[in-house]
Amino acid sequence: MSLQETIALIENYYAAFNRGDWEAMLAHLTEDVLHDLNQGAREKGRPAFRAFLARMDASYSEQLADIVVSATPDGSRAAAEYVVHGTYKASDEGLPPARGQKYVLPGGAFFEIKDGRIARVTNYYNLQDWIAQVGG
């Protein structure tokens, strides 16, 4: 893939996220996608990613803004920076109780691209900042 094709792939992936179209997001991933959770474990495969999206959807309502995507010249890797605007709508295990708290949080992700799809997603945001915002 070219640099521009990779940037378009990531932009479309995040457009699907902002629409809440989980199936469209999953269509951008390889079957054996690696997903590095923020400050957590690595999960493998579309089924695990689908389960992650369901867990997230149950507890959070989020929109990403100010998305900036860059990629290597050969399109094999990409990075994105964004601002998450969210509502913590249901308590997530091991985290403070949810009471509909709003939060705004910078975040980012790193991607590896193979055969026109996302083969790895590594997410990052400042968990301590998020906890402070939701009243932890």
DSSP string, 13-62: HHHHHHHT-HHHHHHTEEEEEEEE-TTS-EEESHHHHHHHHHHHHHHEEE
Contact 79, 70 (CB under 8 A): yes
The pLDDT > 90 percentage for the chain reads 93
- Mind listing the pLDDT tens digit for each residue in 63-117? 999 999 999 999 999 999 999 999 999 999 889 999 999 999 999 999 999 999 9
Q: What is the CATH number of the domain that holds 86?
A: 3.10.450.50
Containing structural domain, residue 73: 3-133
Any residues with CB less than 8 A from the CB of 41 and at least 6 apart, and which? none
Letter for the amino acid at 124?
Y
Instruction: Flag whether pLDDT at 39 surpasses 90.
Output: no
Q: For residue 76, what pLDDT is reported?
A: 97
pTM attached to this predicted model: 0.94
